Structure 1
Amino acid sequence: MMLPLEGIKVIDLTRILSGPFCTMTLADLGADVIKIERPSGDDTRQWGPPFVEDESAYFLSVNRNKKSVVLDLKKEKGKEILKDLIKDADVVVENFRPGTMDKLGIGYEELKKINPRIILASISGFGQSGSYAQKPGYDVLAQGMGGLMSVTGDPSGTPVKAGYSVADIGAGMWAIIGILTSLWERQRSGEGQWIDAALLDTMISWQTYLAGNYFATDKNPKPLGGAHPNIVPYQVFNASDGYFVLAVGNDSLWDKFVETMKMESLREPKFKTNPDRIKNRELLISILNDVFITRTKNEWVELFEYSGIPCGPVNNFSDILNDHHVKEREMVVETNHPTLGLLRQLGIPVKLSRTPGKITSTPPEQGEHSEEILKRIGYNEEQIQSFIEEGVTSIPEKNSSTV
C-alpha cells in the first residue's frame, strides 16, 4: 500500500525542533526526506543527557524516517550538490535566520530558477518580514512575546512558559499545513511558492478567544492557574492524593454536576448559570476545594465519569505513556534500531483510514546516506571520495571502506 505522500521529495535543511518536527511528519506520511546536515551535524545530536548509548534522546525524538547527507554549504561544491538535489525536489524546508538562504546563494528566487515547481517552507522566530525579522527565534521568546506566558501559571507567581516547546512545534505544524496546501495548489498552477511560518505568529494565532476577550473589553487577560477565563468550573482541582481536571462546559452539565454532588449550596441562584458562576468564581471554587480534598483523584474521576461529566486525572508522563488507551491508539510504538536495539517512540497522531502513515526507518546516523544519495544524483565513487577528502561531505567511519 502506498503512503499518502509517497513520491514527494523533501530537502530538509532544518535543525533543532520546529523544522525537524515538520519534516518528520512529512516523512511519516511517506515523503522522501533528505536531511542535509553540516559537518558538525544537527545541534541536537549533542543535546544531552539523556543519551541512548551515544545517541541523543532529543535528536531521536524528531528525526526518524529520514536520510542523512552531510554537506558543507560554505563550500561551493556543497552548494552545487545541494542545487543538484533540488532540481527534482518538491519541497525545501529551512529554519535559518531570515536572509541566510540568500547569503548562501540558495534563496527562493535562486531556487525558482533551478526548479520553478519548488515549494520553499521557511520557519523562523518572527517571520521573513517586519521589524523583528532579524531577532533570534527561540521558543521561550515566542511564548513570552506572544502573550502565552502572561496567562500561564499561578496568578500570584511569575510568568511561566508551557512545559514543552509549543511555539516550535506549532510553527512546524503551520509549515506542514502550508506545504500540503501549496502541493495541492501547484496541481492547478504548476508553480511552487514560498511559505513563511513564524513562532510569534503561531502564538498569536492560538490566542483565539483570549484575544476576542481583549478586543471586546480592552482588558488584558490574566493567569488563572488551571482555570478557564470564560467557563466555571473548568479547571484543575486538588484531591487528597493529587490533581484532576473537571470541565463543566455548559449549564446542562452543571445541573448534572449539582445532582451528583448532592450539595444544596450549589443550587443557589448565584451559581445557576455560567455568567453567575463566573461572577461568583472565588466563592464557588472555595466551596468545591473544601470538598474535593476529601477524596482521591480516582474516586472523583470515577464518580463524575459515571454521571457523564467530563473529567480526568492530571497525568505524569509515566502515567500517560503507559496508558492502555494510548497504546491502543498506537501513540507509543517500539522500533528496532540497528545499534540501539529496541527504541520507544511516540506514534503518528494523524490516523488515515486507507493510507495511514508508517515508521519505516529509525533516526539516521550523521551522513549515513551521503554515499547513497550522491550516487543517486549521478556522482561516482571517485568523486564522492574527493568530496570526503575536501570536507564537502562525510560518511560514518564504519562505512568509509565502501567508497
Structure 2
Amino acid sequence: MSGPLKGIRVIEIGTLIAAPFAARMMAEFGAEVIKIETPNGGDPLRKWRKLHEGTSLWWYLQSRNKKSVCVNLKSAEGADVIKRLAKDADVVIENMRPGALEKLGLGWDVLHAINPKLTMVRIFGYGQTGPYRDRPGFGAIGEAMGGIRYTTGDAEGLPARVGVSLGDSLASLHGVIGALMSLLRVKTGQGDGQVVDVSLVESVFNLMESLIPEYDLLGHVRERSGGALPGIAPSNMYRTEDGGFVVIAGNSDPIYKRLMQVIGRPDLADDPALAQNDGRVKQSAMLDAAIDAWTSHHSMDDVLATLERAEVPSGRIYSVADIVGDAHYQAREMLLDADLPGGASVKMPGIVPKLSETPGEVRWQGPTLGEHTHSVLESLGFDADEVARLRAEGAVQ
C-alpha cells in the first residue's frame, strides 16, 4: 500500500452506492479497505447496470483496491469476525438502516468499547435521529427532499433528475470528509473516535446555496429554470448553427463585457445599467436572446474558438463519447486502462483529486466474492482449522 492513507484500515459494511463509494475513495489513496459481503451473492451492485460476463462493470470500478471478505453477520461467529477486525481498524463505514447493526450486536457502543479510537461513518437516507430515521431512504429520495429536484428541469416541465446517483455520491463525499476530520482528531491526540452521521437528504441540502435565506427573508422560492442560472446573468445554454448546444458563462463583469464585444453588441457591453450582475439579471431574457442570435448563426467549433480567444468560459455538452475522445481527459490521466478477469481490457475513470506528492492509485479491480476471506482471517490470527470450521458452519464463505 502507498498513499496518504497508508496504514489506515477501513471496514466497509455497505452495499450499492453510498458507503462503498466513500470506501473506494479511501482505498484509492492507500487505505486498506476490507469490504464485508454476505453469502448468496454479496453486494447487489455486482449485478447492477451493464454486465460483462455476468459481473457489473460498475462493480469493478466501485470496488477497486478493496478486499472482499464474505461473512454471515447473522451468525455469532460471523459477528465475532467483525469484532476482531474492529480491534485494529480505524474506520467503519456502513449504510444499513438505523439500528440494524445494533440488532446484530455490532452497534457503535459495542465497537467503540472494543476500540475507542474507532471512527464509525453511518450513511443513511435521513440520518440516525429524527422522526424519519426509520423510513427507507435511497439517493433518489435524498435528491427529492434535499431540494435539488424541485429546482432541476425546464420551467414548464416536470422536476427532473440528474442522470447519475447524485444523492448517494454526495453523501459519500460528506462521509469521507467526516471520516478524515475524525481521523485527524484521533491521530493528533485530541480525543477518541466518534460517529459521523451522514444523511442523504442533508448531503443534497448542503449544496442548495442561498435557498433558505432567500425564502425566509424575501419569500422567494427558487424554481426550475432549464439551462439558466437564476439570479446570475448571462449564464445559459445556447443553440449553435449545426444543431449543438453550448454552455456560456459570461457572468462576471469583465467577462460580460468581453462576451458582448465578441458577439457584436458593444452597445450592451457599454450600457451602465448592465455593468453589474443585479442589473443584468433584470434583463436576462434580453441578454440570452442576443447571445442566442449570435451562436445560432455559427458552428459549434467557431463559437468555441471565438469565445476561447476572448477568454469567455464556454464548453460543449459532452457525451461519454466526447469524454473518451478528449485530449484533456487523457492528459490528466482521467481515463485509465484496466484488465478484467478473462483478459478483457476496459477504460475506467481516473482518480480525483490529484495530489502532487502522494497521488492515488489503482492496484486491482473489484474482487470476486470472498476472494480475501482466508487471507484476512489468517491475518487476524485464525488458524486453518478455525477457518475450516467457520466455513463449515456457514459463518464465512
TM-score, reference length from structure 2: 0.95
Is the deviation greater in 34-43 or in 276-285?
Answer: 276-285
Count of residues in Structure 1 that have an aligned counterpart in Structure 2: 393
Name the counterpart of 1:111.
Answer: 111
**351, 363, 368: which one pairs with 2:366?**
363
Name the counterpart of 2:380.
Answer: 377
Unaligned segments of structure 2, at least 5 residues: none
Residue 190 of structure 1 and its aligned partner are, at CA, apart by: 4.6
Tell me if the contact between 2:68 and 2:369 (Cα under 8 Å) persists in the aligned partners: yes
| Structural mapping, 1:113-192, within 5 Å | 113-187=113-187, 188-192=189-193
Name the counterpart of 1:319.
Answer: 322
Tell me if the contact between 1:53 and 1:340 (Cα under 8 Å) persists in the aligned partners: no
Q: Which amino acid aligns with 1:290?
A: A
Q: Which amino acid aligns with 1:65?
A: N
TM-aligned CA distance change 1:190 to 1:265, over 3 Å: closer
Partners of 1:386 and 1:344 in 2: how far apart?
41
| Structural mapping, 1:244-323, within 5 Å | 244-263=246-265, 266-267=268-269, 268=271, 271-323=274-326
Q: Deviations over 1:126-170 (max 9, x none)?
A: 100011111112111111111101110100100001121111111
Name the counterpart of 1:10.
Answer: 10
Tell me if the contact between 1:119 and 1:192 (Cα under 8 Å) persists in the aligned partners: yes
TM-score, reference length from structure 1: 0.94
Residue 269 of structure 1 and its aligned partner are, at CA, apart by: 5.3
Q: Which amino acid aligns with 1:141?
A: I
TM-aligned CA distance change 1:340 to 1:199, over 3 Å: farther
Q: Deviations over 1:252-306 (max 9, x none)?
A: 1111112111135535555443222211222222233233211222211110110
Unaligned segments of structure 1, at least 5 residues: 395-403
Q: Deviations over 1:169-227 (max 9, x none)?
A: 11111110111111110122351111101111111111113334334412110111111
Partners of 2:74 and 2:291 in 1: how far apart?
63
TM-aligned CA distance change 1:270 to 1:97, over 3 Å: same
Partners of 2:300 and 2:131 in 1: how far apart?
49
Partners of 1:12 and 1:143 in 2: how far apart?
24
SS state at 1:123 partner = strand
Q: Which amino acid aligns with 1:140?
A: A
The root-mean-square deviation of aligned C-alpha atoms, in Å, is: 1.6
Could you tell me the percent identity over the aligned residues? 33
Partners of 1:284 and 1:377 in 2: how far apart?
66
Tell me if the contact between 1:245 and 1:312 (Cα under 8 Å) persists in the aligned partners: yes
Partners of 2:154 and 2:139 in 1: how far apart?
21
Partners of 1:82 and 1:376 in 2: how far apart?
13
